[in-house]
Amino acid sequence: MAAETGHDVLGELMRGSLDHCVKCTICETFCPVSNVTPLFPGPKYVGPQAERFRVPREESPDASLDYCSGCGICTQVCPQGVQIAEINTQARAKLRKRTGFRLRDRIIARPDLTGRLGTPVAPLANLMLHSRLPRRIADRLLGIDERAPVPAFAGRTFQAWARKHRSPPAPRRVAYFHGCGANWYEPDAGRRTVELLEYLGCQVDVPRGQGCCGLPLQSNGMFEPARRYVRRLTRRLAPSARHGIDIVGTSTSCTLMLKREAREILGLDDDPELRMVSDHVYDICEYLLMLHDRGELRTDFQPLPLTVTYHAPCQQQGHGIGKPALDLMALVPELRVIENDATCCGVAGTYGLKTEKYEIAMDVGAGLFAQIAEARPDLAVCDSETCRWHIEQATGVRTVHPIEILHRAAGLSGPGH
C-alpha cells in the first residue's frame, strides 16, 4: 500500500517486520478477539502468517481477517517488533477493496458527516437514534446493531462555543485538537478541556474547521478518503505546529492517528505538513504529566471524595506513554482510583457497532465490565469516547474523560455538577 506520493519506507519496514516473527504465540494469548470467538483465528495467523500469501495483485484468500478489531494489543506485546495490527489494517483495506464497502461502513466511518447532518435536527435525530423501531430497521437493513451505544447529538457544536470564546493570554500556548466526539456529541467535554488548560496556565487556540482525522475510515479499509481527511485536518493544525505551538487532544485514538498511524498505515510519512503536525501532537494527559514532570503543573487541586475506576483504552496504550491519567488523578486529594486490569473494552472504535460483531465486543469487554460493577464506583474514567459510550451502556456507570475529574478537582465544575 504505497502512498501516491512516493516510496513508502515506513510501510516497507512495517510489512518487513513480519520476517521477525518467531511463532512464539505471545500475541495469540493477548488478542482479546480470538480469545472470545472461534471466528477469528488470531493475530499470528492473520498477521505475519497470512500476509505471506497476500501477494500484490493476487486476491487474499482469507476473510477471517475482517474480525480483527484493530485494537493494536498484539503489536504492543510482540517481543520481536512485528507490527501485526498495522499489517492487518492494511490487509483489511485490500480485502475490502475486493469485496466492496458496505453502506453501513461508509456511514459509521464518517462521524463528521453524521455530525453535520444530525446536529441541526438533533432532537429528531436523537429520537430516531434512541427509539426501538428505527434502530431495529437500521440493524436489519444496515447492520448497525440495535443494542450498540450511539451517542446523542448535542445540537450545538464545540466549534461554535470556541468561536465565541476568548482565551486569555498566558505564559504557555497550546492548540486544542478536539476531534469529532467533542465537536458534535460532547461539546461540554471540549469546553471543560479549554477551561482546565486555562486554569493550568495555558492560552488555548482552537484551530477552526477541524474535521475528522480519518481513523474510522482507515479502520474500515477506506484508505483514499482517510488520506483526504487527515490531510485536510493537518492543514488546519499546521499553522499552530509551524509556530512551535504544541497540539493537545482529548481523543486518544485520534491523537495516535496523527502521531503514528497516518504516517505508518496510510503511508503518508513523506507528507511534510503531516510530519510537522505529528511531531507536535500530544495526548492531553501525556502533555499535562510532562508539565508536571518539569515542575510546571499547578497541583493545588481540591479534594474530591469519590471512588472512580480507570481503564486505559487499547488505543491509549498504543501511544507507549504508560498511564499518565493515573499519575494526574493521584494529584487529587481524597480521590480513590481503582485501576482496571483489562486491555480492551471491545468496541474498538466502530467495530462493536456492527451487528455481526456486537456480541464479540460485549464478550471482549465482559471482564472490564465485571471489574467496574464490582468496584461500584461513583464514576468510571476512560480516555477514549467510543469506549466511554460502550462502557457506560454496558455497566450503567457514568463514564468520563480524566480531564473531567481534573476539571472538578480544579473547582471549575461548580456545585451540582
Partner 1 sequence: MSRHDAVVVGAGLAGLTAAVRLAEGGASVLVLAKGVGATHLSPCTIDVLGYDPEPVDHPRDALRRLVDARPDHPYRLVGADGVAAAIDWFKGCFADGPLSPYAYAGSVDENMRLPTAVGVLRPSAVVPETMAAGDLRAGGEVCVVGFRALKDFHPVLLADNLGRAAGVQARGLELDVSPEDRADVNALGFARAFDDASFRARVIGQLAGRLGAGERVALPAVLGIADPHAAWRDLEDRLGRPVFEVPTLPPSVPGMRVFATLRERLRRAGGRVILNVVVTGAERAGARIIAVRARVGLRDAVHEADRVVLATGGFASGGLELDSGWVARETALGLPVAGVPAPGDSRFRPGYFDDHPIGRAGVAVDGDQRPVGPDGAPAFDNVTVAGATLAGAEPWREKSGDGLSLATGHRAGGLMLAESGAHAGPAAVGMGG
Binding status of residue 16 toward partner 1 by CB under 8 A: no
Task: Return d(Cα 49, Cα 53) in angstroms, integer.
Answer: 8
Burial of 97 (0-12, 13-18, 19+ CB in 10 A): middle
Stretch that binds partner 1, among 91-99, 220-228, 239-247, 314-322 (CB under 8 A): 314-322
Residue 19 interacts with partner 1 (CB under 8 A)? no
| 148 lines the binding site for ligand SF4 (CB under 6 A) | no
Nearer to ligand SF4, 193 or 252 (CB): 252
Tell me which of ligand SF4, partner 1, none is bound by residue 294, counting a contact when its beta carbon lies within the kind-specific cut-off of 5 to 8 angstroms: partner 1
| Residue 31 lies near ligand SF4 (rule: CB under 6 A) | yes
| Residues 391 and 335 sit within 8 Å (Cβ to Cβ) | no
Report, in this order, helix, strand and coil percent for the chain, each rounded to 5.
Answer: 55, 10, 40
- Does residue number 25 form part of the binding site for partner 1 (CB under 8 A)? yes
Among partner 1, ligand SF4, none, residue 264 binds (CB under 5-8 Å by kind)? partner 1
Return the closest-CA partner of residue 219 out of 391, 69, 56, 48: 69
Residues 266-305 that bind partner 1 (CB under 8 A): 278-279, 289-290, 293-294
Question: Nine-digit cell at 357?
Answer: 460483531
CB closer to ligand SF4 out of 72 and 211: 72
The answer to the question of residue 33 lying near ligand SF4 (CB under 6 A) is: yes
Does 368 engage in binding with ligand SF4 (CB under 6 A)? no
Residues 61-80 that bind partner 1 (CB under 8 A): 75-80
Return the number of the residue (48 or 151) whose C-beta is nearest ligand SF4.
48
- Residue 290: contacted member of ligand SF4, partner 1, none (CB under 5 to 8 Å, by partner type): partner 1
- Whole-angstrom CA distances from 160 to 182, 239, 342 are 12, 20, 37
Pairing of strands 336-339, 202-205: unpaired
Nearer to ligand SF4, 65 or 202 (CB): 65
Give the residue with the Cβ less far from partner 1, 151 or 324: 324
Q: CB under 5 to 8 A by kind: which of partner 1, ligand SF4, none does 38 bind? A: partner 1
DSSP state of 17: G
234 is a site residue for partner 1 (CB under 8 A): no
| Grid coordinates belonging to 60 | 487474499
CA distance 279 to 30: 30
C-alpha cell at 229: 481527511
Q: Which of 29, 131, 302, 307 binds partner 1 (CB under 8 A)?
A: 29
Contact 211, 247 (CB under 8 A): no
CA distances from 162 to 95, 146, 312, 325 (A): 41, 34, 28, 25
Residue pair 384/256 in contact by the 8 Å Cβ criterion: no
Query: Which residues are bridge partners to 308 per DSSP?
Result: 337, 379
Instruction: Determine phi and psi for 177, rounding to 5 degrees.
Output: -95, 110
Tell me which of 198, 339, 359, 363 binds partner 1, using CB under 8 A. 339
Binding partner selected for residue 396 from partner 1, ligand SF4, none, CB under the kind-specific 5 to 8 Å limit: none
DSSP letters for 382-417: ES-HHHHHHHHHHH---EE-HHHHHHHHTT-S-TT-
Contact between 25 and ligand SF4 (CB under 6 A)? yes
C-beta closer to ligand SF4: residue 75 or 234: 75
The single residue among 14, 71, 204, 217 that binds ligand SF4, judged by CB under 6 A, is 71
Q: Please report, as ranges, the residues that interact with partner 1 according to CB under 8 A.
A: 10, 24-26, 28-30, 35, 38, 75-81, 259-260, 263-264, 278-279, 289-290, 293-294, 317-323, 339, 341
Q: Please report, as ranges, the residues that interact with ligand SF4 according to CB under 6 A.
A: 21-27, 31, 33-34, 43-44, 47-48, 68-74, 78, 80, 82, 84-85, 88
